[in-house]
Amino acid sequence: MTDKIEILNERLFPVDRETLFEAFADPAQLASWWGPEGFSNRIAAFDLRPGGTWLITMTVDNGTDFHNRWTFEEVVEGQMVRMTHHEPVHIFTLEMRFADEDHGARLSWRMLFDRTEENEQLEKFLHAANEQNFDRLERLLEQGDRH
């Protein structure tokens, strides 16, 4: 047993791996799908390289802003991004892996949290929230023209 809480979501998308990766690597596309249902996003910084910073403000339907700060730890173009989420409140690591398969590209989304009582409460709804994130990404990819 690990001392970490792991949340894993995976989905096969009907696009090639490069298109799937670009939906994350392009801030304009990313802003349109990041987060669960009901959120809109403003990206103030997006420096996709090891040590780079990502600043995103997620706004929920009621107007509440959530300012998020990330650091990119490892980036393998078209294949993998590992980053640390610093704010607000919850510190965790997210690793996204992009892989070609017969009928599209698979995105594997692995979150690792320290095992705390608060994070154990988060675990109960994060898997479902991540699926909403994937739903939003799938809708973007279905639109075809993303620029």
Question: What would the mean pLDDT of 1-23 be, rounded to a whole number?
Answer: 93
Nearest to 106 by CA among 17, 36, 26: 17
Q: How far is CA 41 from CA 44, 50, 125, in A?
A: 10, 23, 21
pLDDT for position 31:
97
Position 36 confidence tier, pLDDT thresholds 50, 70, 90: very high
DSSP letter string over 80-116? EEEEEEEESS--EEEEEEEEEETTEEEEEEEEEEE--
Closest CA to 31 of 133, 104, 109: 133
User: What are 17's two structure tokens?
Assistant: 């791996």
pLDDT at 34: 96
**Most confident segment among 44-48, 60-64, 113-117:** 44-48
The pLDDT tens digits of the residues spanning 123-143 come to: 888 999 999 999 999 999 998
Instruction: Report the percentage of the chain scoring pLDDT > 70.
Output: 95
Q: Which are the contacts of 143, defined by CB distance < 8 A and separation ≥ 6?
A: none
- pLDDT interval class at 145 (50, 70, 90): low
Residue 61 per-residue DSSP state = T
Please report, for the chain, the start and end positions of each structural domain, with discontinuous segments joined by +.
4-141
Asked if residue 90 has pLDDT above 90, the reply is no
- Rounded to whole angstroms, what are the CA distances from 7 to 10, 50, 64, 105, 122? 10, 23, 26, 20, 10
Mean pLDDT of 69-75: 98
- Quick one: pLDDT band at residue 146, thresholds 50, 70, 90? low
Pairing of strands 65-76, 53-60: antiparallel
Residue 35 pLDDT level (bands cut at 50, 70, 90):
very high
pLDDT at residue 10, rounded to an integer:
98
CATH topology of domain 4-141: Alpha-D-Glucose-1,6-Bisphosphate; Chain A, domain 4 (3.30.530)
Task: Quickly state the pLDDT bin for 87 (edges 50, 70, 90).
Answer: confident
